[in-house]
Amino acid sequence: MNLSAGDIPPVKDLTIENITENVLAINSRCPNPRMKYLFERLTTHLHDFARETRLSTSEWEQSIKFLTKVGQICTDVRQEFILLSDILGLSLLVDSIDHPKPPASTEGTVLGPFHTHEAELLHHGDSISQDPDGEPCLVICTVKDTSAKPVPGVKIDVWEADSKGLYDVQRADHKVSDGRAVLESDEKGHFHFKATVPVPYPIPSDGPVGDLLRKLYRHPYRPSHMHFMFEKTGYDHLITALYLRGDPYESSDAVFGVKESLVVDLKTVSDVEGLSAKYGVSPSTRLLRYDFVLVSDHETAVLRQKEAEKEIAKQNRHMKIVNGLPIPDVD
Amino acid sequence: MNLSAGDIPPVKDLTIENITENVLAINSRCPNPRMKYLFERLTTHLHDFARETRLSTSEWEQSIKFLTKVGQICTDVRQEFILLSDILGLSLLVDSIDHPKPPASTEGTVLGPFHTHEAELLHHGDSISQDPDGEPCLVICTVKDTSAKPVPGVKIDVWEADSKGLYDVQRADHKVSDGRAVLESDEKGHFHFKATVPVPYPIPSDGPVGDLLRKLYRHPYRPSHMHFMFEKTGYDHLITALYLRGDPYESSDAVFGVKESLVVDLKTVSDVEGLSAKYGVSPSTRLLRYDFVLVSDHETAVLRQKEAEKEIAKQNRHMKIVNGLPIPDVD
């Protein structure tokens, strides 16, 4: 690449009004059209934000310090920038955009920071939890496609916090995987396992994001939920979770993960005749049932294209869609 | 504060379209109206950016990783987030907004990361540089107010890179202050000192911001310049710099610091009769002259108010201005 100044669009005399077009001009030689577009929009929004709020030097300095703290508290097991994205609703938004769902398929939600690759493959009926204080819960699910056909051989990750609201990786003495497992759907698209009834818990709030929540007068709690992740070649990767109806934080999740279609009514095994004997659990065991519906890669690609077309139709410029993503059409 | 969920506006069933209003609702209890407004606009721009670009999960992940790297490379003497703000034109924009200037006063520009509080107080005529390889330069300046009256007793910080393009703090063996000084204007508002002719240099490009510049196909160079900072009670703090006309990077400064009014023509002492004898320097010494004009705190406050009024007039909502900063008027 030729980075000599002579090839670069010259910056004009900079003012509050023209700084944006000047930054875009300097960035205009970026050889990756999608990256160029993202930086064009990012710069424009960032500058518009500063102009319309008349952001002060002192506020800018506080922002620089805040972002630095967010970066510096990150470790191999703590991702404060994801937490920041979560509490601003960005994570949920990006997941919803990137994984569009047709009606009647299972919606996705935030991954959260506690998924690991350590979970063991369990058999149907095994317990994912060693927590003696957790309230026992039988989880019975099916996985189908959008034409209601069972999907066998799906790799299913499940993970949940323990009765104290902690994931295994958050415990000081964490050595073995607990509260998580990998399962596989059978030929009927069925899987079941024993777990504990999830409880609400706070997201890590001892860092800059926790400070921010307090300044915004927000609590750090997530409502009770159990995470699920579904992977099978040919199907769009589904990251989701089930939430318990009636949780005190159901309508104020700190990370905006709750969607109505993912809220379930917890039952009791004795509610369903014969279930206790069939699954070999006590009749008083709580019961969580859910039928997941996966979307094929093809359906997802078609939907993504359609949604991208809807979006660019709103924009007053020539755009095209490459791999499902909009970029300006300069041909 | 009462953080129980019952007092919080309930989040509705979340969609791509309504996530923004839901985040604003959850943040609406923030007791600081300016902070609430900033987060309202920040969230809206962030979400609009993701929606209109249809930001993908993979792009979001890359952004999280990038920001984490930016935070983690920061140290006591390296501020990569300021560098990021600089190369996106945000630093220049915020300075221009927060320090509005009436016509004929000296414009401000980016502070940059190399100002220190270590510089010694020098006498007029002293040299700020010990660099044997630098080209000698006599700097003669005045400081006046907007009614052309000299301003005595102004504390003036000056700093510049050496002939290799490095500030003292960037040298591995940095112990004593070099290439920087504090001076004070005399009763005629005059100050002068010896320095070296500034040279272009690259901003630190061995970190994530340098990687970003390369991906954007941008060079990391700043054109030759000398920094000045002016402080006196009653006057708006002026952070500025002078740039040499004809520099190869004059129109492509990596951090968007150049303003036309700050570009100077370097002369030679022999160009002005009697100057060599008067200042005791060789006739071949290069000469930099500039008349700085400071704005009073009062003038700045009036201008800031006026500019904020212009800005809120564009916005389709009831706004008020508190301490020069717009906030929604909800009374």
* pLDDT tens-digit series, residues A169-179: 888 888 888 99
pLDDT over threshold 60, residue A2: no
Poorest-confidence range of A11-20, A40-49, A268-277?
A11-20
Do B45 and B107 have their domain in common?
A: no
Instruction: Please state, for a pLDDT cut of 90, what percent of chain A lies above it.
Output: 88
pLDDT over threshold 80, residue A250: yes
Using the Cβ of B72 and the Cβ atoms of chain A, whether some distance falls under 8 Å is answered with yes
Q: Who among A32, A92, A218 is closest to B26 (CB)?
A: A218
Chain B residues whose CB is inside 8 A of the A43 CB are 88-89
Q: Who among A55, A89, A252 is closest to B94 (CB)?
A: A55
Do A291 and A213 have their domain in common?
A: yes
Among the candidates A9, A40, A55, a domain finishes at A55
In a domain, A25, yes or no: yes
Closest chain B residue to A48 measured between Cα atoms?
A: B45
In a domain, B23, yes or no: yes
CATH number at residue B278: 2.60.130.10
Portion 246-265 of B in contact with A at CB < 8 A: 248-249, 251-253, 256, 258-261
Residues with Cβ within 8 Å of residue B326, at least 6 apart in sequence:
A52, A53, A54, B37, B308, B311, B312, B315, B319, B320
Do B27 and B125 have their domain in common?
A: no
Do B50 and B135 have their domain in common?
A: no
pLDDT tens per residue across span B244-270: 999 999 999 999 999 999 999 999 999
Do A13 and A34 have their domain in common?
A: yes
Q: Who among B14, B71, B96 is closest to A68 (CB)?
A: B71
Chain B residues whose CB is inside 8 A of the A67 CB are 67, 70-71, 81
Do A264 and A324 have their domain in common?
A: no
For an interface test with B, give the residue of A13, A252, A259, A320 to mutate (most B CBs within 10 A).
A252
CA-wise closest residue to A203 among A181, A180, A220, A226: A220
Q: What angle is formed at CA B293 by the lines to CA B292 and CA B298, rounded to 5 degrees?
A: 150
Using the Cβ of A40 and the Cβ atoms of chain B, whether some distance falls under 8 Å is answered with no
In a domain, A4, yes or no: yes
Average pLDDT estimate for A310-325: 92
Distance from C-alpha of B196 to C-alpha of B137, rounded to nearest angstrom: 5
In a domain, A61, yes or no: no
Using the Cβ of A18 and the Cβ atoms of chain B, whether some distance falls under 8 Å is answered with no
Chain B residues whose CB is inside 8 A of the A14 CB are 92, 96, 256, 258-259
In a domain, B281, yes or no: yes
Do B41 and B108 have their domain in common?
A: no
Closest chain A residue to B50 measured between Cα atoms?
A: A94
The pLDDT, as a whole number, for residue A331 is 59
pLDDT over threshold 60, residue A5: no
The pLDDT, as a whole number, for residue A7 is 72
Do A40 and A97 have their domain in common?
A: no
pLDDT over threshold 70, residue A290: yes
Tokens 């073995």 identify what position?
A176
Q: State the nearest Cα–Cα gap between A282 and chain B, in angstroms.
A: 34
Average pLDDT estimate for B186-209: 97
pLDDT over threshold 80, residue A63: yes
Q: State the nearest Cα–Cα gap between B126 and chain A, in angstroms.
A: 33
In a domain, A72, yes or no: no
The pLDDT, as a whole number, for residue B38 is 98
Poorest-confidence range of A21-35, A241-255, B8-22?
B8-22
Average pLDDT estimate for A85-93: 97
Beta-sheet pairing, A286-294 with A136-145: parallel
Average pLDDT estimate for B140-152: 98
> Domain residues for B116?
103-200+220-293
- Contact check, Cβ <8 Å, B15/A96: yes
Helices (H), B73-207: 80-87, 90-98
Chain B residues whose CB is inside 8 A of the A4 CB are 219, 248
- Contact check, Cβ <8 Å, A35/B92: no
Average pLDDT estimate for A135-160: 98
Banded pLDDT at A51 (limits 50, 70, 90): very high
In a domain, A70, yes or no: no
> Is the ipTM here above 0.90?
yes
- Contact check, Cβ <8 Å, A97/B55: yes
Provide the mean pLDDT of chain A: 94
Average pLDDT estimate for B189-203: 97
**Three-state SS letters, chain A:** CCCCHHHCCCCCCCCCCCHHHHHHHHHCCCCCHHHHHHHHHHHHHHHHHHHHHCCCHHHHHHHHHHHHHHHHCCECCECHHHHHHHHCCHHHHHHHHHCCCCCCCCCCCCCCCCCCCCCCECCCCCECCCCCCCCEEEEEEEEEECCCCECCCCEEEEECCCCCCCCHHHCCCCCCCCCEEEEECCCCCEEEEEEECCCCEECCCCCHHHHHHHHCCCCCEECCEEEEEEECCCECCEEEEEEECCCCCCCCCCCCCCCHHHEECCEEHHHCCCHHHHHCCCCCCEEEEEEEEECEHHHHHHHHHHHHHHHHHCCCCCEEEECCEEEECCC
Banded pLDDT at B124 (limits 50, 70, 90): very high
Do B188 and B264 have their domain in common?
A: yes
For an interface test with A, give the residue of B32, B97, B201 to mutate (most A CBs within 10 A).
B97
Poorest-confidence range of A178-187, B2-11, B160-169?
B2-11
pLDDT over threshold 80, residue B304: yes
Q: What are phi and psi of A58, to 5 degrees?
A: -65, -40
The pLDDT, as a whole number, for residue B5 is 57
Average pLDDT estimate for A230-241: 97
Distance from C-alpha of B327 to C-alpha of A10, rounded to nearest angstrom: 36
Q: Who among B52, B74, B93 is closest to A50 (CB)?
A: B93
Domains held by chain A: number: 3
Distance from C-alpha of A33 to C-alpha of A330, rounded to nearest angstrom: 10
Average pLDDT estimate for A323-328: 94
The pLDDT, as a whole number, for residue A3 is 57
In a domain, A176, yes or no: yes
The pLDDT, as a whole number, for residue B10 is 83
Distance from C-alpha of B22 to C-alpha of B18, rounded to nearest angstrom: 6
Do B177 and B248 have their domain in common?
A: yes
The pLDDT, as a whole number, for residue B174 is 81
The pLDDT, as a whole number, for residue B4 is 61
Average pLDDT estimate for A2-26: 83
- Contact check, Cβ <8 Å, A216/B30: yes
Portion 116-155 of B in contact with A at CB < 8 A: none
The pLDDT, as a whole number, for residue A295 is 98
Banded pLDDT at A11 (limits 50, 70, 90): confident
Portion 176-235 of B in contact with A at CB < 8 A: 215-219, 221
The pLDDT, as a whole number, for residue B118 is 86
pLDDT over threshold 90, residue B172: no
Average pLDDT estimate for A201-218: 96
Beta-sheet pairing, B190-196 with B136-145: antiparallel
- Contact check, Cβ <8 Å, B218/A26: yes
Distance from C-alpha of B262 to C-alpha of B264, rounded to nearest angstrom: 6
Q: What are phi and psi of A56, to 5 degrees?
A: -90, 160
- Contact check, Cβ <8 Å, B52/A314: yes
Q: Who among B56, B60, B68 is closest to A71 (CB)?
A: B68
Average pLDDT estimate for A94-110: 94
Distance from C-alpha of B280 to C-alpha of B124, rounded to nearest angstrom: 12
Using the Cβ of A303 and the Cβ atoms of chain B, whether some distance falls under 8 Å is answered with no
Q: Do residues B279 and B292 lie in contact, with contact meaning Cβ atoms separated by under 8 Å?
A: no
Q: Do residues A201 and A253 lie in contact, with contact meaning Cβ atoms separated by under 8 Å?
A: no
Do A220 and A182 have their domain in common?
A: yes
Distance from C-alpha of A250 to C-alpha of A244, rounded to nearest angstrom: 8
Do A20 and A44 have their domain in common?
A: yes
Poorest-confidence range of A5-14, B44-53, B209-218, B259-268?
A5-14
Q: Do residues A248 and A212 lie in contact, with contact meaning Cβ atoms separated by under 8 Å?
A: no
